[in-house]
Amino acid sequence: MAHPDGRLRGATPPLLLSLATGVSLLALSTVAMAQDAQPVEEPVDVSDLDAMAIQLDEVSILANRGPQSPIQSLGGVSVVGRDEIARYNAGDLEDVLATIPGVSTTSDRDDPGVSISVRGLRDSGRVNVMIDGARQNFGVQGHLDSNLVYVDPALLGGIDVIRGPVANAYGSGAIGGVVAMRTLELEDLLTPSERYAARLGTVYGTNGPAWLGKLEAGVRLTEDADVYGAFVYRDEDDYRDGDGNDVDNTGFDVRSGVLKARLRPADGHEITLSGVIYDNDFVSSTGSGTDRDTDVRNATYRLGYSFVSPDTPLVDLNFNLYRNETDYTQIDQNPAAARRDVEVTTTGFDIYNASRFDLGMVPTTLTYGVDYFRDEVETHDNVGSTELFTPSGTREVYGGFIQARFEYDTWLEVIGGGRFDHFDLTSTATTEENTGDRLSPKLSVGVTPIQGFQIYGTYAEGLRSPTLNEAVVSGLHPAPAAFELLPNAGLSPEVGHTLEAGVNLSYDNVLVGGDGLRAKLAVFRNDVDDYIEYATLDRPGLANPCLAGRGPICFARLPYDALQYQNIEEARLEGVELEASYDWRWGYVGLAGAIIDGENRRNGDPLNSVYPDQLTTTLGFRALDERLTFGGRWHAVAAKDDVTDPTLASDRYDVFDLFVAYEPNENTRFDASIRNLFDRQYQAYSGFPASETDPAPGFEAMFGVSIKFGVDS
């Protein structure tokens, strides 16, 4: 699907239907070709493979709060494993999430924080991002994305991505989806026979340059107690773009670590204590000639408890208590006295239980639980207006869910349930209180007419409450664009209504013995009622701010005098996603792509939050008894010109990466990778004017080595 100019075409509803139909017919023809193949009834053991197929077969705790592989789930679900995270020596989440369809990331290059978009929804909690089950709700109002996630990918052991509001079991607000990150733990280091081990690793990158040092250690104190810890130090200098220019203020200095302890006091009981610390120093640009020394400290603490009853399948209990603290401090280099602090603390818990039983002849899983979180925002600024744009206050959200999963024979699966949410917003900036609640239903039906071929349909709703920034932000924007920001404490919550249909394809021994074919296709439509978006106001009787003038004479004025967050009647997001892989033991190929459109149904304008169409292709090979893995990745991104402001548009670009990994033995690994092989100069779409963002890094070669020392029990 390309224009004569080479751009991927935007997807209108008929085009989406055509694409969905075409891929469905392709899947059906593949099934016909694979009648002699072996269908996969249960997840196969792919622990010895290093391929894209792992992501679709890997068992994880997914949308229904139960163990399941993405290829079996009735929805848009993907898993990024530890090997995929390490493949490109990822320096940030953008590298890690590049192979997930429907997922895009944005970062201001002078701030290592990352904003995650899922199916065209981002920012303000529309995507529930969690680290070890703890919500990451930090936000600071500015020109770019306000919700940023701070985590070092070198400490991640896996990421689960759930697209759309089908994951309402994970809590309130996730009308876009859920990104659940898991930090490294003991099983990522020790083999079952080892009592304790340590691993040392280092990575060097040529563009900057960049350097990383990493230390892991773990010990099984007894059969019922273990401890694991990891520490990362990362130092990156300013990088060069594809034209060879140094991009100022893109370097940073990170110290991060994780510590976990587990205790199993009795059969079926497990207690987990963990802490994740992230501390980053960097310099931020303001665009007005003033740089700011910035320090971000993100700390996540968690107490977890689980109990799987050895006596009855009715008890599979999980409890999670957490606290996340983000302290964002900036000091102007000139004048040095200007200081601003934004502290966001999120405290919460969730508890749920799964009861498994037979309802007549139908195996049934009933999952139910409650959750709560409280955001506390404290802002201080001794010179500027940070307290106006990021107001202090609190937000409390609580809710509960119940859902039942029915499996009849091998051909029918039905999941039904609902979620109740309640929220309260209060702030010192206003005397008004914003409160509300809602019940959101969910229904999924999956049919498997032929083993290995599953068709599903889902309808799900979700609620997202307004944030403090949206409801009570107020004040004057600094000159020369001195427009007014107006509060709107009466904002209604957003409600997402998603329809989704999809196909899951899972076959082994298709063309040669031992191969595997996996594919997930989904077409969706998400109508968001009362979508919250800022609107420009030109109030009668008020002079618009002057942008350029001399004395009392103004040469140019803004076309508006104020901005305010408002509800629009409805936003519609629709698209097609494809994730597929074919693995033939000595090689593999993977595809991941999405076409997404977004529209303001009130006036027909496009939604600037929707990212360009993307397609990622990965091709890899294995040799030397699978101890050597090498290959490449092609990331193609379409032009983006359906925007409300021409300054937001972006051009098409293609980026090629290479990778190679060699493991001479089970304790030693050498890695090398090349990012942006052809030194392409490009600027990724962000939804903001190109003048406010930086070009992407140019060519970079990465080299890494890790050595493990272990002692058997």
| Helix (H) or strand (E) segment spanning residue 234 | strand 225-236
Share of the chain above pLDDT 70, in %: 88
- For 43, 177, 506, the CA distances from 563, given in Å and listed in that order, are 52, 28, 50
What are the two backbone dihedrals, phi and then psi, of residue 230, each rounded to the nearest 5 degrees? Answer: -145, 145
Q: What's the average model confidence in pLDDT over 553-571? A: 84
Question: Is 283:249 a contact under the CB 8 Å cutoff?
Answer: yes
- For the cut 70, the answer to whether the pLDDT of residue 4 exceeds it is no
For residue 487, name the pLDDT band (cuts at 50, 70, 90): confident
d(CA 120, CA 476): 30
Task: Tell whether pTM > 0.85.
Answer: yes
- For the cut 70, the answer to whether the pLDDT of residue 388 exceeds it is no
- For the cut 80, the answer to whether the pLDDT of residue 389 exceeds it is no
For residue 404 the two structure tokens come to 């039942």
Tokens 């999924």 label which residue? 444
Q: What's the average model confidence in pLDDT over 422-443? A: 84
Q: Which CATH architecture group holds 13-712?
A: Beta Barrel (2.40)
* 132-146, 247-261, 432-446, 651-665: range with lowest mean pLDDT: 132-146
pLDDT value of residue 385: 66
- For 64, 268, 299, 309, the CA distances from 312, given in Å and listed in that order, are 20, 11, 38, 6
For residue 690 the two structure tokens come to 């190109």
Sign of CA dihedral 262, 263, 264, 268: negative
Q: Where are the beta strands (DSSP E) in 237-361?
A: 252-263, 269-285, 291-308, 316-332, 339-359
pLDDT value of residue 61: 64
- For 127, 372, 429, 494, 565, the CA distances from 424, given in Å and listed in that order, are 19, 12, 15, 14, 18
Encode pLDDT of 215-246 as tens digits. Answer: 999 999 999 999 999 999 999 999 999 999 99
Closest CA to 176 of 579, 604, 650, 596: 596
Share of the chain above pLDDT 90, in %: 55
Question: Taking every pair of C-alpha atoms in the chain, what is the biggest distance, in angstroms?
Answer: 84
Q: Where are the beta strands (DSSP E) in 362-429?
A: 362-381, 393-408, 412-427
pLDDT value of residue 42: 44
**Sequence-ordered list of residues with C-beta below 8 angstroms from that of 351, at least 6 positions apart, any chain:** 317, 318, 319, 320, 369, 370, 371
For residue 9, name the pLDDT band (cuts at 50, 70, 90): very low
Question: Is 615:590 a contact under the CB 8 Å cutoff?
Answer: no
First to last CA, the chain: 58
Encode pLDDT of 167-180 as tens digits. Answer: 777 878 788 899 99
What is the distance, to the nearest Å, from the Cα of residue 47 to the centroid of all Cα atoms in its chain? Answer: 24
For residue 562, name the pLDDT band (cuts at 50, 70, 90): confident
| Helix (H) or strand (E) segment spanning residue 388 | helix 386-389
